[in-house]
Structure formats: structure tokens, C-alpha cells
A and B are shown apart, each in its own frame.
Chain A
Amino acid sequence: MKEDLVLPAQRTQGPGTDGERLLEVKGLTKHFPVKGGFPIRRTVGQVQAVDGIDLTVHTGESFGLVGESGCGKSTTGRLITRLMEPTAGTVTYRGRDISHASRKQLAPIRSEIQMIFQDPYSSLNPRQTVGSIISGPMEINGIDPQGGREKRVRELLEIVGLNPEHYNRFPHEFSGGQRQRIGVARALALEPKLIVADEPVSALDVSIQAQVVNLLQQVQNDLGIAFLFIAHDLAIVRHFSQRVAVMYLGKIIEVGDRDSIYTRPRHPYTHALLSAVPEVSLTDEETGGRERIRLAGDVPSPISPPSGCRFRTRCWKARDQCATEEPALVRISGNHEGHLTACHFPEEPTTEGRQEDIVLDPALAALEEAASDDGEERA
């Protein structure tokens, strides 16, 4: 039997605890087997959902994880909350390795790491009242707050901006944004130190998204909870997170402070991702300011990812070295401290427009060439 996981004594929340390493992930890997064949089903391949990622979340910090669908960001969230067991690598929470801990060993930690899910419709049990949904975590963990659980639930409802009188209502009586608030209240019920929020606002309407983002920010500031904020919306991640990691096909390809990543990106994929975000320009000048990069095709399959650098099949800078040698996630010259990039041939640290757009999509390139030829002929 493994020893029980004993957590260090609870520290009082305060500014002094900032910067302490709350969660440390090293070489985290999750491969899902692909079964096939007849009559005996064998494992014929592996989906390399997450493949050796390192990250650290400090106490009270908000860490953003961005990437497109299939890059492994949600799997990472599930591995950290130990809803899944990793294939390899370690997850260290407050100095204890929880990557292969048993159910029993995990029990004291579960209350400290909570999760907020994407879909506020499927993540709440329609047969339970709001009161029993939010008090559920307390019941399971045998926690009896002062004044009773009902009082605590009413407090929580108030914190997330719902009417405490709605204690006995059912989820279907609430709108999407209100349901997401119930999910936040449930996550807060055990006074966690880390909340993994997996696309917490992407199912909501634009005007409601801002309400929930503000609520999460308020919760983070007031209660000093660290967040792992997983999302595909780059503007929302930028708004919410102090540090940001960009994932592509199961790897972190760039990580750093928010301003470093968004204004001084080095990895070609980060450049492509930022340039693809459609933006409302509010100034009257014509925007020639941002670079324009249009990649070709979709993300390759994670069952047989490209050798070497995984982005090389869609990259305009790829050379032979990229196919044979996997770039390490390191601080390359010119980067600020803590800004790591995994690329052999990094880009200039700017997002300003280039002399020539990078258009790799063959259909776009053909149509645009034809259009510019027309323009020249007319001129």
C-alpha cells in the first residue's frame, strides 16, 4: 500500500503566498488506444492526446491554456483534476505526486481542486434542486459548515449573483448564464485552491459571457483561488489570464506572460493563431497594422502526428531539421524571462503587418492572384 497523501498544513490566504508553486506538471502524457481488427479487437494505434507537457500554476494565479479543438487542452484539464489517469508523467499538487494516487488517497485533494464545465445544461443534474446540487460536494466530503449546509449554500448563491430564495428550484428554471453561475457556486462550495475551468463561457451568448467572466474574476480576486482557464477564445484568455500556454497537437509550443505571448509571439503557430482572430477595429484608420497569415488545411490527426516539430506540415518556415529533430520548449534569445518557445526557426517578436501576407491555402492563393491580375490589367 502506498502511504496516505498528507497535505501540508493549510496556510492562511494572503499576498505572502503568491508565487508558491501550487501545481506542477512534468512530462504529462495521455495516449488513448485505438481498437480495431476482426475477429479479435486489438490495439492498432494510439491517439496521442497529450504528449509530454510541463506547466506550473502558482497560488492565486490564473493560467490560460489555448489551442484549437483536438490539441489536448481539455484532456490536460481532466488529467490535472485526476478524472483520468495519465499514461506517463507526474502531476504534483502542493508537493505531493497525485498522478497515480488511488481514490482514497485523492479524497483530501478532491476538495481543493474543483472543475467548472463548458455545458451548463449537461453538467447539472435535472432531477436535483439547486440546493442539493451545491451542497452535494459538502455532503460527499462530510463537511458541516457553521450554521449548517443550507446557510452556506444561500451564501454561495449570493456570491455568484443568484437569489438565495431560489434554493429549491430546479436547473430547468434557469437560463444558460444562471446555470453557469450554479456551476461556479458548486465549484466554490469546498473553498478550493485551484479551479480548472474548461471553456466556461463558450456556450453562452456574448452579453452573458461578460457577466460570467466578471464573476470568475471577482471570485479569483476575492478568494485568491488559482485558475487553470482552458478556452479557444484568445481574447477572453488574454483578458482573464496572467500567464498563457499555447497548445498544438498535444504539445505546449509556447508559454509565457500574457503580454509576451500576445505582443511578442515567436512560434509561427502563435502568429497564425493571433492573426486569424477576427477583430472589430474601432478606429477610423484602415487597418494595415496586423499581419495576415492563412494556413492551409486542418490540424493533422493525433493518431499519427508529424515527426519532429508537429506544426511543420502547416508551417511556412519548415526545413529538413524540423522533420528530424523535435524542438525543445526553451527560452530563445530575445525572449523575456519565463517566455518559452518550441521552435527551430522562430519568428520576429511582433504582430505587425508584413510586407507580404502569408497565404498557404492553395484556393485562397489562386483566387487572390487572379483578382490582383485583374486589377493590374484594369490599371
Chain B
Amino acid sequence: MSTPLLSVRDLHVSFKTEDGVVRAVDRLSFDLDRGRTLGIVGESGSGKSVTNLTVLGLHNPMFTTVEGEILLDGQELTTARESELEKLRGNKVAMIFQDPLTALSPYYTVGRQIAEPYMKHNGATKKDAWERAVEMLGKVGIPNPRQRAKDYPHQFSGGMRQRAMIAMALICDPDLLIADEPTTALDVTVQAQILDLLKDLQREFGSGIIFITHDLGVIADMADDIMVMYAGSAVERGTTAQVLRSPRHPYTWGLLNSMPRLDSDTGVRLSPILGTPPSLLTPPSGCRFHPRCAFADRVAGAGRCTTERPPPATDRASACHLTADQKRTIFIEEIKPRLG
């Protein structure tokens, strides 16, 4: 195995706010290989978007403290200068945002916006870059791309704007593509088109993709590996099959149990996770999930979950004090039957 495309080691990100220090990301480590897709799933405020803004250096350095390592192809990004990051953005690393209308500028034509990174990073002429933009628009399925490249974003529908964003992200053939909830604002039939398009294009371009979402169904469809985040930390990591079919953390169990599926038993009530996600200004002591955890009382050693933080999740073990045997038995005997 060669070195991974992206390697994040023990990342801490905190923000200074008027009310105190918010620890948005805490003890986070993960790897991503070329051509693979890592799905990051978590609720709002779990730190999944912050992680990726930090990779691109898009945080405000005045109020943000970043510790740890982010290695892209061996290059350290946390200490990189702005001019170095500028060479990466849109070139080696590209991003697709949730809301394509606010991510595109209303003042420039779609074609010009797509061509811009190609001109900047490849030194192409305006004409060549325009030709390449038209070609990319055709590739992502915009009908009549030569004409539509002259349109402004407001003349595109929601699905077409997201296609234009994908064209812009892929025009420089990036090694790493970060997709932050790219289909959340779209309708389900359009979402299915865009997800399949991303998968098919990944096969052609060979990029590594970090796919951020709160929807377990979308992640099951897209990801090779999954990282589940809660309150700034990874609670569970593994391949998609491992995490979805034999999950090992009470939070993942809670997510799976609280979500109705098209084939679940309609007579059964949903089993929600109790309580609400914690504030990161004053996170709970010990395991950050313990106030909402239904299994904290089964951990050997009374009160251990409230005082001692479990070690960060690795590929083999979830971040939980339950023993490996307990996790397996609880899932098979208590969680799986309820999934129907």
C-alpha cells in the first residue's frame, strides 16, 4: 500500500466565541485513499463540515485554533501558507457545497465560473478554458452545453446548478473532492441522478471523495468507508458494510433505530435517541454521548462513562467503554431485531 491521499492525525479545531471556546473537532484521525469514498455522517453541530473547511484552510485564523496534522499527499496543510493553499484549492482539492445557488456567483455566466479555475491553475487561454468548460457541462448532463454555458446561475434549475458545481469541481481533475451535503437541497429523483453521476464520474476521474451527509441512506449508497461523528469526535469507523450491518456504537444503533425505512414494520414505534445533541461550549464530562446513551449503565465500573473518555474510534473499535463482546451481543440480541 502506498501512502494515503489524505491523512488526518489527531486533529483539534476550536473557535473563540463571545461565550467561550467551542471545541468543534476533537481527537479526529482518518485516512482516505485515491478512488475511494469516505462518508462522514453526523447531526448538525457534530463537526463534520468544520473538519473539511479546515482541510482547505477556509477557517478564519483570527478565531480558530487548529492542532494536529492534515497531510495531503505528504504535504502538511495545517501550517501551509495561504499562497500554497491557493494553489491547491480548485486544483488538487475541490469542493461541492450544499446550496449551489449561494455557491455560484450571480454576476458571472456559468461557463465563465467553471472555466476560471482551469485558467488559473493550468495557465490555459480564455478560449481553451471556455471549450473545456463546455465539454465538462456536457459531461455532467447539461443539455445543449454550448448555449447554456452563456446562461447565469438563476436561469438554471436546482439540479442543473448542482451539476454545474460538479463540472467546476472536476475541471482540474482533482485528487480530492469534498462534497458537503451536495444533495440535501434537491428532490429525491434529482438526488438519485446526482449521486449516480458522482459515482460514475469518480470511476472516470479516480478522485478520492469525502462525502458529508446526515442521511444514512445516501451514505449507504455512496461510501466505501464510513465515519460516524458525534459532538466533534469520531465514535465509529469502518467499511460501509461493517458500520451499517454490524455497528458497534450506541449512537450508531440509535441512528439506525430512529429512522423509518421503506421496508420497516409500520406497526412498530420508532425508537428515537433521547435528549438533544450537547452544546460544544460545555460538552458533557467523560463520554460525550453518555447523557443520551441507553447502555451506559451496562459498562463495568459504575460511573465510568461520566468520568473517563473512551479512546478515539479506530478501524476495529468504536469509541465506547462497552467491551467488544458486549457490543456484539447487544447489537445482535437487542438492536437488530428492532430493525425488522
Contacts and interface: CB of A to CB of B under 8 A. Distances in A.
Nearest to B230: A207
B106 interface: no
Contacts of A239: 260, 264, 266, 270
B215 A214 contact: no
Given A207-B254, A277-B262, A298 B190 contact: yes
Nearest to B214: A206
B72 interface: no
A296 B141 CA distance: 9
Interface size range of chain A in the complex = 35 or more
Given A206-B258, A207-B43, A239-B266, A276 B192 contact: yes
Given A278-B217, A278-B221, A298 B245 contact: no
A238 B138 CA distance: 37
Contacts of A213: 260, 270
Contacts of A262: 262
B62 interface: no
A297 B143 CA distance: 9
A50 interface: no
Interface stretch (B86-94, B170-178, B195-203, B301-309): B195-203
Contacts of B85: none
A68 B188 CA distance: 7
B266 A280 contact: no
Nearest to B187: A68
A177 interface: yes
A258 interface: yes
A278 B266 contact: no
Contact of B216 (A68, A275, A280): A280
Interface string B123-156: 0000000000000001111010000000000000
A208 B258 CA distance: 8
A4 interface: no
Interface in A200-250: 205-211, 213-214, 217, 232, 234-236, 238-239
Contacts of B190: 68, 298
B331 to A, nearest CB: 11
Interface in B6-54: 43-44
Interface in B183-219: 187-193, 195-197, 200-201, 203-204, 214-218
B270 A238 contact: no
Given A207-B273, A238-B262, A371-B203, A362 B143 contact: yes
SS class of chain A's interface: helix, strand, loop or mixed?
Answer: helix
Contacts of B81: none
A375 to B, nearest CB: 10
Given A214-B270, A282-B244, A232 B141 contact: no
Contacts of B245: 282-284
Contacts of A209: 258-259, 272
B220 interface: yes
A278 B195 contact: yes
Most buried by A among B159, B215, B261: B261
A98 B241 CA distance: 54
Given A177-B276, A367-B201, A206 B266 contact: no
Given A206-B258, A214-B270, A294-B196, A280 B187 contact: no
A159 B30 CA distance: 44
B277 interface: yes
B275 to A, nearest CB: 9
A363 B272 contact: no
Contacts of B266: 238-239, 258
Contacts of B220: 278-281
Most buried by B among A209, A236, A281: A281
Interface in A44-98: 68-69
B269 A217 contact: yes
Contacts of B159: 297-298
B124 to A, nearest CB: 23
19 contacts: A205-B214, A207-B272, A207-B273, A210-B257, A210-B270, A210-B273, A213-B260, A235-B264, A239-B260, A258-B266, A277-B217, A278-B191, A278-B221, A280-B216, A282-B339, A295-B189, A362-B143, A363-B141, A371-B200
